[in-house]
Amino acid sequence: MKKRTILAVFSAAVLLTACGQTGPVNTAPEENGYPTESMEVSMEELGSGQSATVSAKSGEIDSGDLFTERDLQQTPDLSEAQYLTVSDGEDLTIDTEGIYVLSGNAQNATVLVEAEDNAKVQLVLDGLKISNTDRPCIYVKNADKVFLTTISEDNALTVSGSFSSDGDTNTDAVIFSKDDLVLNGTGRLVIRSSDNGISGKDAVKVTGGTIEIECSGNGIEAHDGILAADGSLDITTEQDGLHAEDNDDDTKGYVYIAGGTINIEAADDGIHATTFVQIEEGDITLTAAEGIEGTQIAVNGGTIDITASDDGINAAKKSSSADPVFELNGGEVSITMGAGDTDGVDSNGDIRINGGTISITGQSTFDYDGKAEYNGGTILENGKETNTITNQMFGGPGGRGGMGAQGGFGGPGNRPERMQGFDGNIPEGRPERMPGGDGRMPEGRPETDSTGIEKQ
């Protein structure tokens, strides 16, 4: 898989949160809150077991590090598969690693995966239909990793009533997983839920197939992260479409999108993450109260169309490990705002536009509490092209290169040599992988832990 630009803005501390520190962090004195020298972070790429390097100014990762070959394999090898059929009122328990082809039509039945800690289990859906009243249709209680692979068009899972608990575990989704979950395949899966559609206590990946979710809770939620590489997601929800959050740890919870087609209609947020949202590629359509919300948000590519009744993009202080920022390095972003006190892009910190195109239709286009930098790309405000990032909160236009204090004019337009974040370009001569430093966290930043995503 081709290399993709790493999150252009997320601070070293939070990248370590998302990825699991395996090497050092070199820190340098800061100037105006930004590192004056490049930071290098050697890390396990989202728990993959392969190291990569990120600098504070520019960098790249191989997104193949985030998705294993098996994650991306859409057609399963069924030569040694076991074939199982669900029945009314009977749970189907899988306790051994392997590939299982599931079919049949059942009511009040659960496919329960309770295998060894190192077991990789693949559930192949070939005409599986389950309707339950109060419990998950698929419940991953224990395994290393579970693949949910569709190979036919007529798979449907429904829970219509109030979910019951499994001891201390609130199993509140049609597909509920305590371990890493991968959704792929060539077929279609329809999920209807009185609460959440898919819930993962570790990470949830979508790499193929067509998934349609209608629910009153969150469409897909995960404690560690939600990653999409390909496939089609269609979500209609009364809460958030994609929701990444760990209530006990605000250094977790990210969304990474490297491709695919995503269509979300949400009463609350289209995409919500505690730490960062990073979009590399993809065709994304969001109709929601807020389109995208996270502490740090980077768009490096893709086509994103947002219709919002509140903020289109909101970089808010949701994680204690980083300051809010929105950065655009590439792609096309279109935001249409509702009437009233709404903002196209609202940042509790900074805004940086380095490339790509952003078009905002609405009364308030930009609102930020920190600095704004325009270093390239195209800005359209209500159809009119501009090279300024106007702060609606303070009312004064910022010049090319940044906003001055309280709505005054910015500087002469030179981009600072060192920024907290990346500009999307790889310096000439830079090796693909660089050595780390001394292994210390930056002073004053909390230690963070791994996302728990494991490689096949």
Biggest CA pair distance of the chain? 72
Cross-strand partners of 101? 83, 124
Q: What is the dihedral of CA 162, 168, 174, 178, to 10 degrees?
A: 170
Residues with Cβ within 8 Å of 270's Cβ and at least 6 positions away in sequence, in order, are: 240, 241, 242, 264, 286, 287, 288, 290, 291, 292, 306
Count of beta carbons in the 10 Å neighbourhood of residue 308: 25
Closest among 143, 148, 1 to 68, alpha carbons compared: 1
295 phi and psi angles, rounded to 5 deg: -70, -50
Nearest by Cα to 371 from 342, 344, 333, 400: 400
Cα-Cα end-to-end distance for the chain = 16
Comparing C-alpha atoms, which of 279, 399, 285, 391 is closest to residue 346? 391
Q: How far is residue 423 CA from its own chain's centroid?
A: 20
For 311-320, write each residue's pLDDT tens digit: 999 999 999 9
Q: What are the C-alpha distances in Å from 311 to residues 174, 274, 346?
A: 30, 16, 7
Residue 17 has pLDDT above 60, yes or no: no
CA distance 265 to 270: 7
The per-residue pLDDT for range 138-197, each reduced to its tens digit, is: 999 999 999 999 999 999 999 999 999 999 999 999 999 999 999 999 999 999 999 999
- pLDDT for residue 63: 61
Rounded CA gap, 141 and 301, in Å? 37
pLDDT in tens, 360-413: 999 999 999 999 999 999 999 999 999 999 997 543 333 333 333 333 333 333
